[in-house]
A and B are shown apart, each in its own frame.
Chain A
Amino acid sequence: MAAETTESRTATPTLDWLTVALVLGGVLCLYYLAPLVSLFLSVPIGEIIGRMGDPTVVNAATTSLLSASISAAIATVFGLPLAYWLARSEARWTNAVLAVVVLPLVLPPTVSGIVLLTVFGPNAPIGAAAVAAGFPLTRSLAGVVLAQTFVASPFVVVTAKAAFESVDRTLEHASRSLGKNRWTTARRVTLPLAAPGILAGVTLAFARAMGEFGATMMVAYYPMTMPVKIWKSFQSVGLDGAYPVAIILVVIAVAALVVLNTVASNPWD
């Protein structure tokens, strides 16, 4: 009887769900990689190097790197305190605040641009005042930064919030019980432990800002960022003109991803 049972068990084909998962996930990965490989194969390396010397491409890359860095910095300065508050507050309305933070993530980028124009556009009170002060908030680097910060900063807040939440509160209680105030505790205990997650959020925000197109195009078409430059090349020359610039942007994005993967793992685990 026991032998029969064993036989029937071995005879029944079992579905290896891990293999199924790998196959399904593999299809998705192929879907990600195939267009990228195709893009790289479609342009001779010499042409890419040649376009890297194009002043308009260099200007666009400079604008993108500069504005994305500023946007990531602003998102960090304002986003970290908010993330900490969201992670630690027991107020009932934290969910409402979190919903506000996530709003830019779910808005279509062009709608984000329109929303920003209603506040910072030259006809809006704030925008008009800024123009009068000689610091226009549209068609300027400031405009690019405003658009990028709007769409990218939620990445810092959401990721840093999760990072702060992953820090055992007992450690903060221990620190304060040892006579250290809230600020010292945050600086010497919470922030170092949450740093990998925070850096991941900042990197994501930077990458998102680098790739931002819709809101940026609405608020500040000029100075051109890389995505806007790609769009313009596509419109004026066609795909052949857009490909090399797109590849340069992909390289920058991949570099950001490498940084992300390097810093995202928590060495204290």
Chain B
Amino acid sequence: MLEINRVEKSYGAFDLGPTDLTVNEEVLSVLGPSGCGKTTLLAVIAGITDPDTGTITLGGTELTGRTPEDRGTVLVFQDGALFPHMTARENVAYAAASTGKIDELAATLEIGDVLDQRAATLSGGERQRVALARSLAADPAALLLDEPLANLDAPIKRRLRDELRPLLSSLSIPVVYVTHDQHEATVIGDRLAVVRDGAIQQCATPSEVFARPATPFVASFTGRTNLFRARIAEGESDPALEWAGHQFDVPDYEYPVGEAVWFCIRPEYVTVVDASGAGGQNVLDGRVRRRVFEGDGYRIDVVPASADDVLQVTLSPPEYERLELDDRKRVRLSLPRDAIHIVGECDRTDAGCGSGVDEMESGSTE
């Protein structure tokens, strides 16, 4: 188990932490925008830089103060950091205890054909496969990956991403996988830690993070979402959410009536229902403003009848064709009760809404 306790690190105006994280024998994806401190976190764990305060333990052994080579952590870098004056085989052998290990890893990572090529001549995907083989050859007690797929072309990235998930899970060691790509973080991680400005805003399973983001930033950074300001109103039986001139039935939340809150609903949960509204929950009318084909589906921007906000809806191609939508066409939408998540009060500045609450604009985000 890798434990990070109250770790802080300052670089000029940038502050990381205080950070607390526990990584069991699992893959923890650390997701955040560029410059949020996720790479610094890895550098601190790997011993490349020392934390200002806090401790790091691995398997109960204190790592703080130890040299990088004496930690049992292996760091995989964004570009692979292969030694250019060596062949792929020599790179793997650099860390391997035996030649048998090299052959085994070459088979696992499908790099047998390129083993005798000089590292500098390898393609991006091959480089990362060799870098992974080299890191695994060192028999790490914890594996740290710093955006290993960031520089790859989309098809190679997709393939490696799908291969990485079972490979990393099979290691049965703490794995910290840093990325700024929410899709990658979700596919690869058993859990997801979302970082912003050096602070972890939420750490939970990907499905929990997606369904119940802890802050407006988490909601907006973990995929496309509809994020709006609303108000808790007195409902017929329970408190309801008042937005766009409608009252919405929402899951139970302990917010006082009158409280201004952020709420979100993912576009894929918003459905277009027929004019009767039958079968739909929390129905509201709107008008299509824009339709965007996105390859695997359509994104429809809808302006509710009594609001300036834009609500995004994603539709599969068959559904889009069935609905025969045009710009400015009136549609009736349903916002399912259980898909609505109240993120937090609008005036909160703690971890609930995050420091970015002032920067958040009500609306749809990607």
Contacts and interface: CB of A to CB of B under 8 A. Distances in A.
A178 B74 contact: yes
Nearest to B72: A179
A90 B360 CA distance: 39
B135 interface: yes
Contacts of A178: 69, 74, 94-95, 134-135, 138
B48 interface: yes
B75 A173 contact: yes
A55 B95 CA distance: 57
A175 B75 contact: no
Candidate in A178, A182, A268 with the most chain B CB atoms within 10 angstroms: A178
Contacts of A181: 67, 69
Interface string A50-94: 000000000000000000000000000000000000000000000
Contacts of B73: 177
Interface stretch (B78-86, B176-184, B350-358): B78-86
27 contacts: A170-B77, A170-B79, A171-B81, A171-B83, A171-B84, A173-B77, A174-B77, A174-B81, A174-B83, A176-B67, A176-B68, A177-B46, A177-B48, A177-B69, A178-B95, A178-B134, A178-B135, A178-B138, A179-B69, A179-B95, A179-B138, A181-B67, A181-B69, A188-B94, A193-B83, A193-B84, A268-B120
A130 interface: no
A186 interface: no
Contacts of B84: 171, 193, 268
A180 interface: yes
B120 A177 contact: no
A188 B134 CA distance: 15
Contacts of B138: 178-179
A192 B135 CA distance: 21
Interface string B33-70: 00000000000001110000000000000000001110
Nearest to B131: A174
Contacts of B48: 173, 176-177
A247 interface: no
Interface string A141-184: 00000000000000000000000000010110111111111100
A189 interface: yes
Contact of A170 (B68, B81, B135): B81
Contacts of A179: 69, 74, 95, 138
B94 A177 contact: no
A189 B94 CA distance: 10
Sorted nearest first, the 7 A-B pairs with minimum C-beta distance are A174-B81, A176-B68, A178-B95, A177-B75, A268-B84, A170-B81, A178-B138
